[in-house]
Structure 1
């Protein structure tokens, strides 16, 4: 990676946090780990109410934080620091779903009842799969966040996504694997919606290329991961695709290294957040990484605006910062080019929209609302706390485009 995050984060758009807050009303922002309150008083009749329901606590809290910080920066950038779209003040209410689908649905229903016509934020795939039907039932615009399950794409006309999906991860991994014909591939993942989506995607993508695909699935609550590493090793796969999320990742990589999996098979995984870089230790040089994003990968002015906005507000750019930033871009475009109240018009405005995002040029496919976007491959360099990613290739969106689905009603 030619430039470190510190090198590229510049003070081009220096603004204080108080000035930002004056432009965009962030209502109900509670302390970390607790749910927010209802929307603030004095919003005014012309306000557009947006409900941000995401993992402020729970297993994916770190990802939720990245999303939320990106969203704030994106809203500031997309509204040109005014907090308004088409003359309407944007009022955001944050709620913590703690990664619990039932809690997320309950909070979303409350927000809808209080006039929110736009929902955003799903960090967890299980949550996303429950939020989408709710949005359709209530005819509210739903911008799903980091949740990667492919099932969100095409699920209904009111649901879009601001991040990547598992199929795009696998296509990026395919660019690292070379010829898969006749190779034995094992997917190591958690037995969750996210993990199962990755197994399905690997079977679809690499299976079509002639690979024999199997899986080893561990309970998300598993503490000792050594038995699962042994199971992978005993299968003698040519390729191991690791799809893992959450706090147990360090234990996983320790187990894989100790059991010799990293030496006996080619191992490919997604590059997680910056906190995970040192976890690999010497094993990092043995792993091939596909990357949704890392600071510095996009190399464009929008990414610079995102990095500046997050750091000026006291945050830290990371893996899912673009998901929040892009969600804000989408919401502002939906209001500017669609309507402040008509969610069907909002959805129509988003369909087919092509725009410059933090990762590069992106497009919302009208047919099924897939977010077509570039992806990246990377390696890790350095040691200890100084480990950081190095960009190897930018994989164009044309090479990571999932098959089109029929948009459900």
Structure 2
């Protein structure tokens, strides 16, 4: 009798120990690595991404910063936009810091360098905000998901704003982002039936400040070509829009077509009312509950509306939150299963990860620079929302 009683006590003790161990494990911090180029040419983008990511987690967790009962710990790392450092930072996050999932990074070159690290550690990396097509194309692996738009989505959106026919030249930065963007834009022109003939491509170093020679080469090629004559600018960081406009391209019948940029840059475009382009996000365009909160709260905290990359950071946070909530785990295989085809809410509205390449399918916006601007940030007028269904992004990962 006593032996049976002792056996029951031992069993109870073991059960309690197991329950305690399980609860203790469950209560461990949920570690998310956020890698961004917080110093260097894209510093402003990186800081916006971090702000948006933290605000997104705050909103989605109701301020508790917990997912599935686990306290969220965000580990922020600066890769300075350098590929070798990005690779090192991600390996450190997965290896030393034991991060459950990672988000990053700002530079496309650095993001491409990070992709094999995710595969090596068999951990999910959500790419935000790098855009190079290769990330969900030839350099992709099954651990990679991307919330940011890619170069082809940019190209298709931009092409959809261009009238059929005419001539087009490109000015872009001479690195992965610029060259990828021009290639995508050229492919997109045929896809959407714009049929504008590409007559020139001009590439300039990222740190270029004098665009006189480049602009003159573009003007010389475009000025005698069939109208409309369009100079499309594909540039990250400080846009050359103003410097090009100061050279009066209109005297040759040339119209500038900028891609959307961050608010501090676009507010310098006020004198170019009527100029049209495409953009990933502008705070006044989406009409939904999340964006209403986002705009109001960001204005309250920072005395300015949320920006292009702030929205991207929020979208990445939503992908993390939705994936872990749906998988009820941070196990990589369970996360991948949950995320393929997963729909999630963002300030732009709903996005979903395409199963084949894990690219977030999403809407874009056709804008026009406003003539009558009521305040510092009243910059753009919505021409139309371009739905994801109008952006036929081809599969490039050969899965």
Q: What TM-score, normalized to structure 1?
A: 0.82
Of the three residues 377, 390, 398, the one matched with 1:399 is: 390
Flag the 1:407–1:337 CA change in 2: closer, same or farther, 3 A. farther
Deviation of 1:309 after TM superposition, in Å, equals: 4.1
Match of 1:267 among 234, 251, 256: 256
Counterpart for residue 174 of structure 1: 159
Listed one character per residue, the Cα deviations across residues 131-158 of structure 1 (whole Å, up to 9, x for unaligned) are 1221112111101112111111241111
Spell out the pairing of 1:22-61 with structure 2 (5 A cutoff). 46-61=28-43
User: Counterpart of 1:102?
Assistant: 84
Partner of 2:160, secondary structure, is helix
**Structure-2 separation of matches of 1:346 and 1:89:** 18
Partners of 2:340 and 2:300 in 1: CA distance: 32
Q: Give a deviation string over 1:41-90, Cα, whole Å, max 9, x none.
A: x9996221111110212111111111111101111122232211112221
Query: Could you tell me which residue of structure 2 aligns to residue 218 of structure 1?
Result: 204
Residue 307 of structure 1: aligned partner: 295
**Structure 2 partner of 1:20:** none
For residue 215 of structure 1, give the secondary structure of its aligned residue in structure 2. Answer: strand
1:254 counterpart = 2:242? yes
**How many residue pairs get matched?**
361
- The aligned counterpart of 1:12 is none
Structure 2: how far apart are the matches of 1:348 and 1:296?
A: 34
Give the direction of change, closer, same or farther, for the CA distance of 1:262–1:194 in structure 2 (3 Å limit): farther
Which of these residues, 134, 145, 154, is aligned with residue 151 of structure 1?
134
| Structure 2 residue 212 is matched with structure 1 residue 230 | no
Kept after mapping to 1: 8 A contact 2:155/2:186: no
Which residue number corresponds to residue 16 of structure 2? Answer: none
Match of 2:230 among 225, 239, 243: 239
1:235 aligns to what SS in structure 2? helix
Q: Distance in 1 between matches of 2:49 and 2:58?
A: 14
TM-fit CA distance, 1:369: 0.9
CA distance, structure 2, for counterparts of residue 174 and residue 220 of structure 1: 24
Distance 1:268 1:294 in 2: 17
What's the secondary structure of 1:366's corresponding residue? Answer: coil
The structure that has the greater radius of gyration is 2
Runs of 4+ aligned residues of structure 1 deviating over 6 Å after TM superposition are: none
Q: For 2:213 and 2:328, how far apart are their aligned partners in 1?
A: 54
RMSD over equivalenced CA pairs, Å = 2.2
Q: 1:342 to 1:297 in 2, by over 3 A?
A: same
Change (3 A) 1:293 1:262: farther
Q: Distance in 2 between matches of 1:272 and 1:101?
A: 23
Correspondence for 2:284: 296
**Does the 8 A contact of 2:149 with 2:280 survive in 1?**
yes
Whether the 8 Å contact between 2:146 and 2:358 is mirrored in structure 1 is: yes
Distance 1:43 1:145, change over 3 A: farther
Q: Greater relative contact order (Cα 8 A, min sep 6): structure 1 or 2?
A: 1
Alignment counterpart, residue 94 of structure 2, candidates 109, 112, 115: 112
Q: TM-score, normalised by structure 2?
A: 0.84
Alignment of 1:62-81 (within 5 A): 62-81=44-63
1:396 Cα offset (Å) = 1.0
Provide the C-alpha distance between the structure 1 equivalents of 2:75 and 2:136, rounded to a whole number of angstroms.
25
